[in-house]
């Protein structure tokens, strides 16, 4: 079994050109001495500049993506090579993380790394970066089961979900890498199933941590 976790439609992108001349962005760019096109869009810093941005509630939360990533990559299941993580972004970039790689826990280091990768689009040994829509990414992975996790899905408890996964060789689970809103129609189209694992809305990092733990427990038994 290799579980592919796709952090999908992630709120992780460089500042779009259209915001480059707005004050919140210009100030941040000066403060950091970095041009806007090399800076991660971050609601906590660029809030004022995002007011008219399309889908603004689904964008500019690199902090969430970071925590979600760590909640997967710090686990024995991941460190033993059973999980592969892909970060798919709102603007259809993919960061493919080599199995067992540990991304930086420190947010500043994570930010520098991701800014470099997204801007230069140059792979390193541990993280590949390329342009791909979700359906293109899934064509490459060729999963034998594709499940999206969302409040909008039918409720199924995590234990049963994991029983379903564990009979597969190369399943993919999509977790939304954003704070508000739901998967886009184009994402829903590529799924075999849409499942909700709790009656309460859960943060992506909580979903990811619980999924990995539940699978790990079953594999180790």
Site string for its own copies, 87-126 (x = CB under 8 A): ------------------xxxxx-----------------
Among positions 159-178, residues that touch its own copies (CB under 8 A) are none
Site string for its own copies, 20-59 (x = CB under 8 A): ----------------------x-xx--------------
Residue with the two structure tokens 């007011």 = 51
Residues 91-111: b if buried by 16+ CB within 10 A, e if exposed: eebbbbbeeeeebeeeeeebb
DSSP bridge pairs for 5:
85, 173
Using the minimum distance from each CB to its own copies, give the nearer residue, 23 or 201: 201
Name the token pair of 196. 């909700």
Contacts of 206 (CB under 8 A, 6+ apart): 71
State the number of binding residues for its own copies (CB under 8 A).
26
Closest approach, Cβ 40 to its own copies, in A, equals: 12
Contacts of 18 (CB under 8 A, 6+ apart): 53
Q: Which of 145, 166, 188, 202 touches its own copies by CB under 8 A?
A: 202
Q: Which helix (H) or strand (E) holds 8?
A: strand 3-10
Residue numbers of the site for its own copies (CB under 8 A)? 42, 44-45, 63-64, 67, 70-71, 74-76, 79, 105-109, 198, 200, 202-203, 205-206, 209-210, 213
């Amino acid at each position: 079994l290799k579980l592919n976790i796709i952090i999908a439609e992630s709120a992780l992108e460089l500042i779009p050109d259209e915001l480059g001349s707005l004050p919140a962005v210009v100030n941040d760019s000066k403060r950091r001495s970095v041009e806007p096109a090399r800076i991660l869009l971050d609601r906590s810093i660029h809030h004022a500049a995002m007011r008219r941005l399309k889908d603004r509630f689904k964008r500019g939360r690199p902090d969430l993506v970071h925590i979600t990533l760590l909640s997967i990559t710090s686990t024995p299941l991941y460190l033993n090579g059973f999980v592969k993580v892909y970060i798919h972004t709102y603007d259809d970039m993919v960061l493919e993380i080599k199995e067992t790689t540990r991304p930086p826990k420190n947010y500043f280091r994570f930010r520098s790394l991701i800014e470099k990768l997204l801007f230069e689009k140059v792979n390193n040994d541990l993280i590949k970066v390329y342009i791909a829509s979700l359906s293109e990414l899934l064509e490459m992975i060729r999963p034998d089961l594709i499940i999206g996790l969302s409040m909008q899905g039918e409720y199924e408890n995590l234990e049963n979900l994991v029983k379903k996964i564990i009979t597969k060789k190369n399943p993919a689970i999509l977790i939304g890498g954003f704070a508000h809103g739901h998967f886009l129609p184009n994402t829903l189209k590529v799924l075999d199933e849409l499942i909700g694992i709790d009656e309460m809305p859960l943060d992506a990092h909580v979903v990811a941590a619980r999924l990995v733990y539940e699978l790990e427990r079953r594999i180790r038994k």
